[in-house]
Structure 1
Amino acid sequence: MSSPPDLDRGGNPVTGVFTDSIAAVATAPGVGAIAVVRISGPQALQIAARLSGRPAGRFTPRRATLAPVLSAAGERVDEALYTYFAAPASYTGEDVVEISCHGGIATVREVLQAALSAGARSAGPGEFTRRAFLNGKLDLAQAEAVNQLIRARTRTQLIAARHTLSGALSRRLEEIWEHLTAISAAIEASIDFPEDVDEPDRTELAAALDRLYQSVEQVLELARRGRLLSQGVRLAIVGRPNVGKSSLLNLLAGRPRAIVSDIPGTTRDFLEETVEIGGLPVLAIDTAGIRETGDPVEQEGTRRALEALEHADIGLVVLDATQGVAEGDLEVLQAAGERAVTVWNKMDLVAVVPDAGELTANAVSISALTGQGLEDLQQAILSRLGAGAGYFEEALSASAHQVSLLEQAGQALAGAVASVQSPHALDLAAVQIQTARSRIGELLGKDVTESLLDAIFGAFCIGK
């Protein structure tokens, strides 16, 4: 990719590292009142001129212009609003034209095809944001946050993505990277020129590295919280037949999602519903009642229930408060293990909470029928995940790749602290510090490969 020779309307070189222009539909697929076709690249303005039949000079930056959209054959495809963003003051840092056309499926397809015929090529997934990164409009941490922002399903996810996109993660990482760069330079100089440069004071060096380690660990914790937000959790609702599992799913979902019946064994297979608890997406799974039976269909239901529990982050073990701990409950509690959140259901039918000793000491009392105890149950679920009040307030949206890099940086810094405190030469510490610096730099996009960029931006939608 070489710098393009194209000039903008003022005769200045076009900002960017790409010589071609790309186009894609920037709005979600389907029928809508308005759709947006985005064009980015050094020829974006010329493509808009060809599409509209208007001179390029008619388009004023950041002002909408009403003009037709013409096909390659000169046929009028639509009447649209063209908005021109001159480089470098655009999302990608290149000349960008956004065409707001009517949102019918056929219309959008024809407008995009007209743009491609006029000189653009079809954009790949995340290519607009990739260009924004390569043109210096975003660092890599912010670029990845764009994808998290697009995919946010809850308000808490949205806030975490905005937090990262605003530079909250980047600023912390940049500060750590700069300190590591300075420390690395000082150590390397003392190793390469021992006669001219004194070795840094080891006590001070160890303290400085430990502070950086603590900073990385703090960022890592916030990134893990953001990762938990992005992934969500799996919650299996398990128990004997007719303890109110389906009613509990309906209560969590806020609507009648599952069939409820007094007949034991009504649920034969599992049923899934995504709910929000404390801003966290939770995939709640209603399972078949677990019991010994000769019915092969119920046996398969029990097997699937236990399998769902095995793969769940939390097992919501439902007990019937009108019966106390009955035969079969112990098996379910044992299968859930440390992931269990025990629930006494049907509390609207009893006067006191059953006493089953240590087995149910931390059980939550609810009525899935009346909604009694719902908030307590939600808090118990969050507490089991270690996510108490305010847990996600400073969360930083992060991908699995970003969390892994932070973990590697932290491990390298911990090793560097130990190496500096040892009586050995600083060579190993120098390598460990450079490893930590490299991982932080990779997070910021200071030193990345094409394959890494392909992996990151390949997860984006086309048009962003």
Structure 2
Amino acid sequence: MPSGYLRLDVPIAALATAPVPAALAVVRTSGPGAPELAAKAFSRPEALAGAESHRAVHGFVRDPETGKDADEVVALVFRAPSGYTGQDAVDFVCHGGPAAWEGVLAALEKAGFERALPGEFTFRAFAAGKMDLAAAEAVDELVRARTREAREDALDRLGGGLGREVSDLRDAVLEALAEAEVRLDYGEDELADGPDELAAAVEAARARAETLAESHAVGRMLSEGARVALAGPTNAGKSRLFNLFLKEERSIVSDSHGTTRDYIEADLDLDGIPVSLFDTAGLRDAPDPVEAEGVRRSRLVAEGADLVVYLVDGTRGAAPRDMETLEALPVAIRVWNKIDRPECLPAPEGWIPLSAATGEGFPALAAALGARLRGGASSGIAQGTELNRGASGNFDEAPRASPPPISGRPLPHTAPRLASRRQADCARRAARALASARDVLVAGAHLDAAAVDLREAADALAELTGESVPESVLETIFSRFCVGK
């Protein structure tokens, strides 16, 4: 276990709600004897220290040194092992002003509690066997979920859906390993089933591991979101389309060239996928140095996007420079804008006709964008781009509010999905090891080589659920959590 989190017997406390003014706040504690320790900073010490699990006690948190009240609270008591962390715990519901919860925390520290590390409460739940590592990761994913589908996906992992699937797969691998070891001990001739049956069982396990690994594409997109950039020459209608997506006037719309001088970002819920949408500066050789810098930044945004929606003014058509730009973009949807104008040219094949001014063609564009993101998750879109998300693990980088949905059908959800690169790496390692074991068995080579591969696959799956995982990995995972989680 990571050294910073090994202090399982140390009583800890932290604010569990956002550090902003609100009606209520929650200060969470955990550790052996937490109710008795918290009673030192409580106006009714006997009532709190003697409370049974899942009981509420009203009173005041007070400074144990001066006796001054910090705030009026309701203390919720949990006795091991029934609480969230599996330890004794007290959650204090206090007033939501910063002075109130800071006073409560300060009083608890004087009573003997230490400030919790990011994710330390969930780490203790994991260490106590209250959840596997995939479920623990889902806690952070749920906190940061920005769409309904992302929330439901994280809830499935939090409920143990992924852990059960992986454990069942690992059992199948261990069964195949046991069979291989029996064959090594007794020899092929003394067993009724031949190597073909064992190879078939290993191949079935490999296919399941591969399916799990492939699920990461959609799971990651739901967890981290996709970056979509609106790009094209000046006056193509990008800002008007940006406003149409948002259903509000966020970008300035003007017939003057170079109106947008830098990119603007906003959140969308598109078919359940959280999307960061970028309105970028028109691509041209800008005479003004400020606009030129905006164009440079916009090019970087487009190059780093998971998908680009490239607009041209249909009354002018696509210039050679537009075609050169499109050739350089790996993934783009081509949009022929301003079809409401009488002078608009016919849209060429492969271009989506649109009027950003009237909305004509917008449902088709939204559907095409959602389809490309859904389909692209398995073909490379939104897999290779590193998203610029905050990872400090505290509410100073709190997740953004859920954006309004645009349209379309939700993502199909028929099996547990992997959400993190760590999980996907474990599944891929298992699939590769199983493929190697299958090949050894089909070739009739030494069974001991197949047994080595099967052990490697079982170890990779154990790492996925946290049964066996390096300390450095645990440190990385939990340090990204919010303080108080």
Work out whether the TM-score is over 0.5: yes
Detail structure 1 runs of 4+ shifted over 6 Å in the superposition: none
Paired residues for 1:402-421 under 5 Å: 402-421=423-442
Higher relative contact order (Cα pairs below 8 Å, separated by 6+ residues) = 2
Range moving further from structure 2, 385-394 or 313-322: 385-394
1:316 shift after superposition: 0.8
TM-superposed CA distance for 1:155, in Å, is 1.2
Q: Could you say what secondary structure the match of 2:173 adopts?
A: helix
> SS of 2:274's equivalent?
strand
Distance 1:227 1:319 in 2: 31
The residue number in structure 1 matching 2:61 is 69
2:284 to 291, 303, 320: 291
Which residue is 1:348 aligned to?
A: 340
Q: Does 1:429 align with 2:450?
A: yes
Q: Trace 1:219-368 onto structure 2 (pairs within 5 A).
A: 219-336=212-329, 338-350=330-342, 354-356=346-348, 361-368=349-356
Q: Secondary structure at the match of 1:410?
A: helix
After TM superposition, give the deviation of residue 273 of structure 1 in Å.
1.9
Using structure 1 for the length normalisation, give the TM-score: 0.90
The alpha-carbon deviation at position 92 of structure 1 amounts to 0.8
Q: Which amino acid aligns with 1:216?
A: A
Quote the residue 1:162 is aligned against. 155
Change (3 A) 1:267 1:195: closer
Q: Secondary structure at the match of 2:277?
A: strand
C-alpha displacement of 1:51: 1.8
- The one-letter code of the counterpart of 1:54 is P
Q: Is the 8 A contact 2:440 2:447 kept in 1?
A: yes
* Residue 431 (structure 1) shift: 1.4
| Residue in structure 2 matched with residue 12 of structure 1 by the alignment | none
Local SS of the residue matching 2:215: helix
Rounded Cα–Cα distance in structure 1 between residues aligned with 2:233 and 2:167: 54
Cα separation, 2, equivalents of 1:199 and 1:228: 47
TM-score by length of 2: 0.86
Deviation at 1:143, TM superposition (A): 0.8
Matched residues in 2 for 1:403 and 1:159: separation? 19
Hey, what does 1:391 align to over in structure 2? 411
Contact 1:20 1:43 in 2 (8 A): no
**Cα deviation, residue 77, structure 1:** 1.2
Distance in structure 2 (CA, Å) of the matches to 1:404 and 1:389: 30
Structure 1 residue 78: Cα displacement? 1.2
* Alpha-carbon distance change, 186 to 352 in structure 1, aligned in 2, over 3 angstroms: same
- Give the stretch that moved more between structures: 120-129 or 424-433: 424-433
Offset, 1:173:
0.5
Please say if 1:23 is aligned against 2:13.
yes
- Aligned residues of 1:160 and 1:397 also touching (Cα < 8 A): no
Matched with 1:7 is none
Percent of residue pairs identical? 41
- Corresponding residue of 2:29: 39
Matches within 5 A, 1:67-146: 67-73=59-65, 74-146=67-139
Counterparts of 1:406 and 1:180 in 2: how far apart (Å)? 13
1:392 CA drift (Å): 4.5
**Superposed displacement of residue 43, structure 1:** 1.7
Aligned residue identity for 2:12:
I
Deviation string for 1:309-334 (max 9, x for gaps)? 22111111101122233453222322
Q: Report the alpha carbon displacement of residue 125 of structure 1 after superposing the two structures with TM.
A: 0.8
Cα distance in 2, alignment partners of residues 324 and 278 from structure 1:
30
Larger displacement relative to structure 2 (285-294 or 89-98): 285-294
Looking at structure 2, the residues matched to 218 and 280 of structure 1 have their Cα atoms a distance apart, in angstroms, of 21
Cα 1:17–1:192 shift into 2, 3 Å: farther
2:396 corresponds to 1:376 = no
Root-mean-square deviation (CA, aligned residues, Å) is: 2.3
Distance 1:328 1:44, change over 3 A: same
8 Å CA contact 2:228, 2:309 repeated in 1: yes
State which of 51, 54, 69 in structure 2 corresponds to 1:59. 51
Question: Structure 1 residues 296, 69: closer, same or farther in 2, change over 3 A?
Answer: closer
Distance 1:298 1:129 in 2: 48
What is the number of residues matched between the two proteins?
445
In 2, the alpha carbon distance for the partners of 1:21 and 1:199 equals: 58
Change in Cα spacing, 1:414 to 1:100, as seen in structure 2 (3 Å) is: same
1:297 CA displacement: 4.2
